[in-house]
Structure 1
Amino acid sequence: MVEDLEKFLIEKSGTGETFDSWEFAENNGLDHDKVVGALKSLSGAEFVVSTQLETRFYTLTDEAKSYVDNGSPEFQFLKLVSEMGKISAAEAKKHPIGFGKSMRNKWLSKEGEEFTLKVNLSEMNDDLQENLKTLVAKNGAEDALEKNVLKELNKRKLLKLVSRKHYSVEKGPMWAPERKKVATTITKEMIDTGSWKDEQFKATNWHSTGLREQGGYLHPLLLVRMEYRKILIGMGFEEMPTNKWVESSFWNFDALFQPQQHPARDAHDTFFIKQPAECSLESIPKDYVDVVRKTHEVGGFGSIGYRYDWSLQESKKNLLRTHTTAGM
């Protein structure tokens, strides 16, 4: 139970001695993660003061553990050769690690297709096995062996470097023999009875971030408008400045190839400007105006046109831009 674990930690910290969370968990057969959880709760209430520590150490791989029990592969191979007296090349190759190490260290003599020992096995030490045992005895401490030895063991993939987070724990400023549950907020009952005066409240964390505000969603019509905008821009149209409310009939209608006799261009559907009633089209290249005229009258680009006499005068009429768009 969490309450029992917290009580245990309160008693331990009450002695005034600083202790390590990992050692505490190991000595009492407890799950260290659960100990850390209880410590964080007690730290929040200032019953204890905990300082995070990080310890790095080596652990043995399964292969390395087998070498601790049975000796290194090179010594296992040497023992085999010693027992057999000699070993054939074919048989030796069945023990690639031990055979390879023995050859590199010049522990073997070759006689034809067979190998015999050049060394006295009884006078040799299995350094690999001894180094691994030393590492185990010193709990995998990084300084348990010389750096070059550790480098060789790592090269042979016999070690794993592990990082362990644990805590140094000591008695806190709000320590008490028993932890009383603190209130998180004042209630109506506390005010009515006056019990809030004797209540202990949880400290407020003024530095915590508030809840993230959730935004709304786009209106379906706005989504449709965005899709049309994407399509039109992809076709080569450009957006006009949104504050340009007055437009010429040329850009608002003719450049979009809307015929001049279209009902939408009548006075009851479009707001025409009285002053100035017309604009100058001199800034527009004449050849572009001619292309628009020709397309309206006889067609082009796969169109047969509208078959009417296009009026330049009609295209000069100023109006309030319609449908929030105009040709460019």
Structure 2
Amino acid sequence: MGTMEVNTSDGTDDLVETLSTAEKKVLLALDEHDGRASPDELMETTGLEQVKVMNASSWLQSKGLAAMEEDLESSYQVTEEGQRFLEEDLPEVQVLKLVMDGTNRFSELREQRDDLDIAIGWLMRKHWCTIDKSEGDKSLVPTEKGEKAVGEEQPEIVVLRQIANGETPDDPDMAETLVQRNALTENEEITRTVILSGEGRAVVEQGLEIREEIAQLSPEHIQSGAWKDAAFRKYDVKSFAPVLHPGKRHPLSRLIERVRRIFVEMGFQEITGGYVEPCFWDMDVLFIPQDHPARDMQDTFYCSRPAELPIDDELLENIKAVHETGGDTGSTGWRYDFDSEQARRVVLRTHTTVNTIRYLAEHPEPPAKVFSIGRVFRRETIDSTHLPEFYQIEGIVHEEQANFRQLIGLLTEFYRKLGFDNIRLRPAYYPYTEPSMDVEVRWHDRWMELGGSGIFRPEVTEPLGIREPVLAWGLGLERIAMELYGLHDIRQLYLSDIEWLRSAPML
């Protein structure tokens, strides 16, 4: 029965055509050295510079024709401190001998030893002595283990002598301890070996032709006409290429810019504000009662310096009347005694709504379409979806014909521009908006709340001289980021995870 021959050289031929001259020389040199050689040996055999040998070896490894093996070798050198140990013995041994001879009080030992504290530390660690505090002056008492150690050569001295004689230490762990004691210095050297693979050997056995090739066409080649008779190196489009990690902005910063761009495209103007505000602007103007749980110390960061900030007296009286009786708004208010001192207390802002309400107070005439992106602060328990410091997206629309349907359309369009299609709006309650709704998106098979919205109540707008409807919303930026970047834990946004930062998509 005849045999059938299978030609497997086509793939090898294609691979050979992609090899550079340096790669071919390294392959042939490895074959001469029985398949294993150091970079120095390859340099000597090929006549190439070290950088070319290493580059060629790396490319051969990526093509499966060779492998790079690295061995880390440590060597030690005795320091001046180590030499003193060899000549005088270890400090703990010297102190132990003094103790055995009757000089055991700390005061006496300190007169003879500048390194007493170091010696005592090692005596305690090795359980060679105990400290007697029964009398006024502390003293050292040798243990049975310590008495035995006095007449023995210590393993530290054995290792130091071996290294001083150019020998390899029998106890590497003790050598590391001596490095920590500054008795030795450690030098680490990486030894590299290039190994010819089975496929690489097959390529060599098939035969390699060393010829001059043009890898990159230059103006000189064209001007001289050398390109006409030259051999051009083929490009291997399947070969390994390193992943490049160019500099780029933090994923959260990129998302902030994207949100900013969306609102600007929708005709909004950006506003900013301060981190520190009186309770008056952060809560009272928004018709949040002074006994609301959000004002508790466990929920809000109160400042001690300054503890209070000034407020316009006339506006303060108007807001006080709204809280107590409803003022001129037609509301009955919250029916409690408003505390003006509480209104002056200073907090780290709990939401960026304070920015928009200040803007309305300064610009009571419509129309207005503004937004704000900034950090807010709350005493939240840190978990996978909550942080005590986070970003909030705030916005308002103030115009005569503003209505709830417009608010629904606006928020739906905003999230659509961000890439969210699965959105739902649910009725909600907030002290300063009516009607109110929450915005939720589908996230990992469950609905995640991303923010609240509504129309400012008359108790909020009328004391500021505003009669037209004001649409308002506050949205959590980090939760949007979790959905867009596919994160399960909000804390990952602030970790120094370089791999995630490099691989995060450019939104």
Structure with bigger strand share is 2
- State the TM-score, normalized to the length of structure 1: 0.42
Rg comparison, structure with higher value: 1
Whose RCO is larger (CA < 8 A, sep 6+)?
1
